[in-house]
Structure 1
Amino acid sequence: MEYSLYKKDGAFPCDVTIDVDNNIYTVRDSDTTGQVFQSAPEVASWIQQNWAPDQFEKPDDYYDLMNTLQSSLQEDEMEY
């Protein structure tokens, strides 16, 4: 899963990548700094702690991302 969101204060999109098959869990912020994580729950936790809906041009994009993350986490839990 790859997601791009646009912050009000950034020229570049914020990108989130969750690739379970290849163990890639990354976040790139609008200032192009990045974070690498070990799991999808870590990504979700970081996003909740560091981003807020009102930071984005389209707050609904933030909510869509979080809903998608939560759904994917629930599906992963069901598989185990």
Structure 2
Amino acid sequence: MEFEFMTTECALPCLVVADDDNGRYMIQNVDRSGEVFNSKEELLEWMETCWRREMMVEPELYDRMLKELKESVLLV
């Protein structure tokens, strides 16, 4: 899974990658820094802690992304 979305804090999109096949779990944050995680669960926990729905230009896209990630964690 790969998601790209805009926030109210940056003119460039943020990126979320949850690639089970290659074991890649990472984000590119609003300040263009990156975070790398060992699992999808860690990535999801970071997102829920550090990002808020109100930060997103399209909050419903953020909600959908979180829902898809949570559902995929339950399937593993």
Common topology (TM > 0.5) = yes
Q: Which runs of 4+ in 1 moved over 6 A?
A: none
> Which position in structure 2 is the counterpart of 1:69?
69
Count of residues paired in the alignment? 76
Report if aligned partners of 1:12, 1:31 keep a CA contact under 8 Å in 2.
no
Between Structure 1 and Structure 2, whose CA radius of gyration is higher? 1
Structure 2 unmatched ranges of 5 or more: none
Please tell me the residue identity of whatever aligns with 1:73.
V
Structure 1, unmatched stretches of 5+, are: none
Where do 1:3-22 residues align within 5 Å? 3-22=3-22
How many angstroms does 1:16 deviate by?
Answer: 0.3
Q: Which amino acid aligns with 2:32?
A: T
Q: What is the match of residue 42 of structure 2?
A: 42
Q: CA deviation at 1:51?
A: 0.3
Deviation per residue, 1:10-68 (Å, 9 max, x gap):
01111000111111000101221100000000000000000000001011111011100
Counterpart residue identity of residue 58, structure 2 = K
CA distance in 1, matches of 2:71, 2:24: 18
Q: Name the Cα RMSD after superposition.
A: 0.7
TM-score, normalization by structure 2: 0.96
Normalised to the residue count of structure 1, the TM-score between the two structures is: 0.91
The structure that is strand-richer by fraction is 2
Tell me the SS of whatever aligns to 1:27. strand
Provide the rounded CA distance (Å) in 1 between the counterparts of 2:46 and 2:70.
13
